Amino acid sequence: MKDQKKRILIVGGVAGGASCAARLRRLCEHCEIVLFDKGQHVSFANCGLPYFVGKVIKDEKKLLVATPELFEHRFNICVHTEHEVLKIDRDAKTISVQNLLDGSIRDEAYDALVLSTGSKAIRPPLVGIDLPGIYVLRTIPDSLKLRAAAKNAKRAVIIGAGFIGLEMAENLANLGIAVTMIEMAHQVMPPLDAEMAVYVEQSLKNNNVELKLGKAVESFTEHETGLKVHYSDGGILETDIVLLAIGVQPESSLARKANLNLGERGGIQVNETMQTNDSAIWAVGDVVEVKDLVTGQAISLPLAGPANRQGRIAAGSVLKYLNNDDRKILKFRGVQGTAVCQVFGQTIAITGANEKTLQKNGINNYQAIYLHPGNHVGYYPGAKPIHMKLIFTQDDGRILGVQAIGTSGVARRVDVISMAMQMGGTVYDLEESELCYAPQFGAAKDPVNMAGMIAGNNLRADLPLADWHSLQDHECFVLDVRSANEFSGEEIPGAVNIPIEELRDRYTELPKDTEIMVVCGVGQRAYYAVRMLLQYGYQVKMLPGGMQTYQVIKEIKKG
């Protein structure tokens, strides 16, 4: 009964706020829980919005995971929608709330306050940015506007090729709209390294999405049949609708005004139980900054999973604070950016750091490998490749990150590797992972095992690996061990072809005083060749991922 009469206020009632409220009630039957949201809905499925616009999800009600009525009746939680919290008075422990329906403002007292105010779409101050026809997608009302506009649209320009931009490209294209994406970076999907993004770019092009990469939007103007988007180098696109999907920033204005500690990027700083520098205030979700477990840096990671888990964690911490008791509580351990998205049937999944991030943070002691295993055994009908890039430390084989793309079985592999990473796992753990196998699901050597085996072989010096960049930087002796027929289809300029089946008889044709880089289709035959040549005393390395990887490397070189 100690919790009685304690008043907990929550600002923001979606992923982090709603999960915190529900957990609080599960842990404390006696405290008063009041939730405010300036929007019309709480606990809605923001992640489903692109599919609602694309009419994959037809009924708006399906987006409502929980309603204010459900919170009231099932959990005895009082929900005020269309109530904006304007100010926090930390000394008085009150918040100032405006009822957006009648404009009235009142103060509400708290014993504990939880901020889950999320993030806001970045809207750069470009000429014409407020013109009608330019949309963002954050809320159900946003999605209704976009859905209505899409009804009559023939052309759409999406600015930004991250998760939301890509999901929207697919959904708008599936409505029969001609989609062009403009992206300032020279690749789509920034969490991928450029050569992995090529697979996504190819898929977009195959589905008639036009890409303008390395282009910055400069302004918008109206014209008789819609809008003109002006971008770098004098480019102009005529369109009916524009979607701004260039990223988000923490919605931390309340916290800023209340002098709570913020990080460099504007996220609220919290401890591992989500408590801010004010012991009576917690913050969760997109609005906080979190520790990147790979780089050690403070980052923003606007994803639903962390927001939900942080909401749960904050609930326990709030009650421990209010009751000053010794209850056991959870701690947030940081993030590694595990994420997934689907574009035109391709699943893109990632966890951990990519090479760009490692280099930016001065982490250079790593090795990257590529592999292209089937999602399941080749003899079972319908096998499809998964393009994978695994990055690990050179000294102890600790996993730093993985990127994977394919049509099936992708998220499962990345989830397994993500969990291994969270347990501090190494590539040796991937080699030894015991995973599900039947022909329709995988292989006796699963792609996860394969990634670990290639990496482990490399670290044990059984399989020296070449860096694709060194191939471009200086002249190398390249041995291609595919069949003559495959070789005649496409070859690395200057490569010498000795099919693997002939190599045992012909290896003496190879130079002993030069480093040899061996390539095949995806890496398997090159591995056999490397093992053979090493034992005959040659200096030899394998080009990981074979010609499959060469093609994407060549694509990014072309620009």
Dig out the tokens for 92 from the structure. Answer: 């008085």
Does residue number 391 form part of the binding site for ligand FAD (CB under 6 A)? no
Contact at 8 Å (CB) between 165 and 249? no
Does residue number 137 form part of the binding site for ligand FAD (CB under 6 A)? yes
Which string of b and e fits 201-240 if b means at least 16 CB within 10 Å? bebbeebebebbbebebbebeeeeebbbbbbeeeeebebb
Three-state DSSP at 70 gives helix
Give the C-alpha separation, 535 to 357, whole Å: 37
Q: Which is nearer to ligand FAD, 117 or 295 (CB)?
A: 117
Contact at 8 Å (CB) between 119 and 300? yes
Does residue number 254 form part of the binding site for ligand FAD (CB under 6 A)? yes
Does residue number 302 form part of the binding site for ligand FAD (CB under 6 A)? yes
The residue within the footprint of ligand FAD, chosen from 16, 128, 226, 401 (CB under 6 A), is 16
Q: Tell me the sheet residues that pair with 210.
A: 180
The residue within the footprint of ligand FAD, chosen from 170, 193, 240, 251 (CB under 6 A), is 251
Does residue number 303 form part of the binding site for ligand FAD (CB under 6 A)? yes
Contact at 8 Å (CB) between 210 and 161? no
In whole angstroms, the minimum distance from the beta carbon of 406 to ligand FAD comes to 18
Q: Interacting stretch for ligand FAD, rule CB under 6 A, among 47-55, 151-159, 366-374, 466-474?
A: 47-55
In whole angstroms, the minimum distance from the beta carbon of 77 to ligand FAD comes to 15
Q: Interacting stretch for ligand FAD, rule CB under 6 A, among 64-72, 114-122, 363-371, 455-463?
A: 114-122
In whole angstroms, the minimum distance from the beta carbon of 160 to ligand FAD comes to 12
Q: Which is nearer to ligand FAD, 11 or 229 (CB)?
A: 11
Does residue number 39 form part of the binding site for ligand FAD (CB under 6 A)? yes
User: How are beta strands 155-159 and 241-244 bridged, if at all?
Assistant: parallel
> DSSP letter at 42?
S
- Site size with ligand FAD, rule: CB under 6 A: 32
What lies within 8 Å, CB to CB, of 558 at 6+ separation is: none
Q: Which is nearer to ligand FAD, 17 or 68 (CB)?
A: 17
In whole angstroms, the minimum distance from the beta carbon of 322 to ligand FAD comes to 22
Give the C-alpha separation, 311 to 138, whole Å: 20
Three-state DSSP at 71 gives helix
Q: What amino acid occupies position 11?
A: V
Contact at 8 Å (CB) between 147 and 269? no
Q: Which is nearer to ligand FAD, 116 or 426 (CB)?
A: 116
Does residue number 118 form part of the binding site for ligand FAD (CB under 6 A)? yes
Does residue number 14 form part of the binding site for ligand FAD (CB under 6 A)? yes
The residue within the footprint of ligand FAD, chosen from 21, 28, 35, 46 (CB under 6 A), is 46
520-559 positions binding ligand FAD, by CB under 6 A: none
Residue 342, phi-psi category: left (phi > 0), alpha (psi -120 to 50), beta (remainder)? beta
Residue 93, phi-psi category: left (phi > 0), alpha (psi -120 to 50), beta (remainder)? left
266-295 positions binding ligand FAD, by CB under 6 A: 285-287
The residue within the footprint of ligand FAD, chosen from 132, 141, 296, 305 (CB under 6 A), is 305
Does residue number 116 form part of the binding site for ligand FAD (CB under 6 A)? yes
Q: Which is nearer to ligand FAD, 254 or 448 (CB)?
A: 254
Rg (CA), the chain: 27
Dig out the tokens for 233 from the structure. Answer: 């180098």
In whole angstroms, the minimum distance from the beta carbon of 163 to ligand FAD comes to 6
In whole angstroms, the minimum distance from the beta carbon of 340 to ligand FAD comes to 7
Give the C-alpha separation, 29 to 373, whole Å: 52
User: What's the order of all strands across the beta sheet hosting 339-343?
Assistant: 339-343, 346-352, 399-406, 386-393, 366-371
CB-closest chain residue to ligand FAD: 285
Report residue 216: phi and psi, to 5°.
Answer: -110, 135
Does residue number 11 form part of the binding site for ligand FAD (CB under 6 A)? yes
Q: Which is nearer to ligand FAD, 119 or 367 (CB)?
A: 119
Q: What is the dihedral angle through the alpha carbons of 101, 105, 111, 115, rounded to the nearest 10 degrees?
A: 60
In whole angstroms, the minimum distance from the beta carbon of 267 to ligand FAD comes to 11
Does residue number 348 form part of the binding site for ligand FAD (CB under 6 A)? no
Q: What amino acid occupies position 268?
A: I
The residue within the footprint of ligand FAD, chosen from 10, 12, 179, 189 (CB under 6 A), is 12
The residue within the footprint of ligand FAD, chosen from 3, 10, 34, 37 (CB under 6 A), is 37
**Contact residues for ligand FAD, defined by CB under 6 A:** 11-12, 14-17, 36-39, 46-47, 49-50, 84-85, 116-118, 137-138, 164, 251, 254, 285-287, 302-305, 307
